Amino acid sequence: MQELIIRPRRLRASAVIRDLVAEARLDSRMLVQPHFVVPGEAISEEIQAMPGIEHQSVDRLLETVESDLELGIHSVLLFGLPEDGDKAPDGRAAYADGAVVPRAVAALKERFGDRLAVMTDVCLCAYTDHGHCGLIRDGRIDNDASLPHLARMALAHARAGADVVAPSDMMDGRIAAIREALDEDGLVETAIMSYSVKYASAYYGPFREAAHSAPAQGDRRSYQMDARNRREALLEAELDIGEGADILMVKPALAYLDVVADLHEAFSQPLAVYNVSGEYSMVKAAAARGWLDERAVVLENWHAFRRAGADIIITYHGRQALREGWL
Ligand code: PBG
Ligand code: ZN
């Protein structure tokens, strides 16, 4: 037998050596905690399909974010829900005076200033009565007619003080429309994190319960990407960069790590992954039955995101991970 010269196991001998040579590392500062903000006061209601995640009114959100900051979560991504009965064909409640997301942004920035990075999801689906992410004309999504509404929504968030606006609608040209609206208003410093590569995915199921945003008819396949496509992701990212995107995102995360690796290789912009609701809830469900070690699975997944090249991890598990000292 030939003598073994190269023995990879040498560097696996102890935890200290394994830690010394580990390629992918995690840091609480790369985590983004999503929040679902609702109108009203003193509301904190757990979302059934997402144990540990709540609908919160602005007053409760402030308390949650304060304790999260102490844990080490410095970035949030806000989703809003309109008042009952405020949904309309064009989703106008998204940017109406007093809309819940701008109110939340202003309150968070007033209280926490630059200690907190406030990002906001920009999409109409929680505000349209039909539940689609754009406007509908003659039974189809009208791409270009949707753009001014998305831009107005982004502008409302940016004027309230959002650090980053994050369009998730997947209309063509929305990054340019948003950038132009922000710049015209003098908000040249507000960054755009584009959901550049967002697939039509069954993993959004629990979120749609949380955001009350399931389409009344049809699905989102005419605007979100087809899960069979890989090269198209590069085109989507390239277009967004050309239109002014500052941060790129791939969503969902786990089933799309090839795409994360492709974007990491091709572009120098910071890259986010969205570890989406279905990915969260399936881990939660299995852990609740004792079928999986929750901490170990979450860390394995997060390390996979890092290995593939993600810089930012948007995850519902952030708070629990820090509270329970997983990092
Ligand atoms: C809205 C939006 C969705 C998610 C983020 N923004 C749902 C969708 O497109 O249907 C999914 C987030 C998650 O599942 O955690 N456009
Ligand atoms: Zn949407």
Q: Ion ligand 2 — residues with CB under 5 Å? A: 123, 125, 133
Give the tens place of pLDDT for each residue, 247-285.
Answer: 999 999 999 999 999 999 999 999 999 999 999 999 999
Is any ligand 1 atom within 6 A of the Cβ of residue 307?
A: no
Q: Is 208 in the pocket of ligand 1 (CB under 6 A)?
A: yes
Q: In whole angstroms, what separates CA 244 from the centre of its chain? A: 19
Query: Of the residues 133, 204, 224, which should be mutated to test ligand 1's pocket, given the most ligand atoms within 8 Å of the CB?
Result: 204
Question: How many CB atoms are closer than 10 A to CB 242?
Answer: 10
Q: In three state form, how does the secondary structure of the chain look?
A: CCCCCCCHHHHHCCHHHHHHHCCCCCCHHHEEEEEEECCCCCCEEECCCCCCCEEECHHHHHHHHHHHHHHCCCEEEEEECCCCCCCECCCHHHCCCCCHHHHHHHHHHHHHHHHCEEEEEECCCCCECCCCCCEEECCEEEHHHHHHHHHHHHHHHHHCCCCEEEECCCCCCHHHHHHHHHHHCCCCCCEEEEEEEEECCHHHHHHHHHCCCCCCCCCCCCCCECCCCCHHHHHHHHHHHHHCCCEEEEECCHHHHHHHHHHHHHCCCCEEEEECHHHHHHHHHHHHCCCCCHHHHHHHHHHHHHHHCCCEEEECCHHHHHHCCCC
Q: Is 169 exposed, middle or buried (0-12, 13-18, 19+ CB in 10 A)?
A: buried
- For residue 241, the tally of other CB atoms under 10 A from its CB is 18
Confidence band for 78, pLDDT divided at 50, 70 and 90? very high
User: Does 109 participate in catalysis according to the annotation?
Assistant: no
What per-residue confidence (pLDDT) applies to 279?
A: 98
Average pLDDT over residues 106-125: 98
Section 203-208 average pLDDT:
95
Is residue 1 scored above 80 in pLDDT? no
pTM: 0.97
Candidate from 53, 123, 277 with most ligand 1 atoms within 8 A of CB, to mutate: 123
pLDDT digits (tens, 9 = 90+) for 142-160: 999 999 999 999 999 999 9
**Res. 54: pLDDT tops 90:** yes
Cβ of 168 less than 6 Å from ligand 1: yes
Residue 13: is its pLDDT beyond 90? yes
Distance from Cα 11 to the centre of ligand 2, integer Å: 46
Kindly indicate the confidence band of residue 34, based on its pLDDT and cuts at 50, 70 and 90.
very high
Q: Picking from 209-213, 259-263, 322-326, which range would have the lowest pLDDT averaged per residue?
A: 209-213
Ligand 1 nearest-atom number relative to CA 277? 15
Angle (nearest 5°) at CA 170 between 216 and 211:
45
Please state the atom number of ligand 1 nearest to the C-alpha of residue 280. 15
Which domains, ranges and CATH numbers included, belong to the chain? 24-323 (3.20.20.70)
Q: What's the 191 CA to ligand 1 centre distance in angstroms?
A: 20
Mean pLDDT of 187-204: 98
CB of 187 within 6 A of ligand 1: the answer is: no
275 lines ligand 1 (CB under 6 A): no
Share of the chain above pLDDT 90, in %: 97
* Dist CA 18 CA 35 (whole Å): 35
Cα(316) to ligand 2 centroid in Å equals 18
CA distance 176 to 158: 15
Closest ligand 1 atom, residue 170 Cα: 16
Distance of CA 137 to the CA centre of its chain: 28
Query: Is 276 close to ligand 1, i.e. is its CB under 6 Å away?
Result: yes
Contact 196, 236 (CB under 8 A): yes
Q: Is 251 a catalytic residue?
A: yes
Tokens 């023995």 correspond to 7
The best mutation among 194, 201, 213, 283 to test binding of ligand 1, ranked by most ligand atoms within 8 Å of the C-beta, falls on: 213
pLDDT given for residue 244 in this prediction: 98
State the ligand closest to the CA atom of 210: 1
User: For 48-53, what is the mean pLDDT?
Assistant: 96
What's the mean pLDDT in 229-237?
98
- Ligand 1 closest atom vs CA 203: 14
Q: What does residue 48 show for φ and ψ, rounded to 5 degrees?
A: -55, -45
Residue with tokens 């079928």, as numbered in its chain: 291
pLDDT for residue 209: 85
Q: How far is the CA of 234 from the centre of ligand 2 (A)?
A: 21
Decide: 125 in ligand 1 pocket, CB within 6 A: yes
pLDDT band at 211 (very low <50, low <70, confident <90, very high): confident
Confidence of residue 2 (pLDDT cuts 50, 70, 90): confident
Q: Which ligand is nearest to the CA of 276?
A: 1
d(CA 46, CA 205): 16
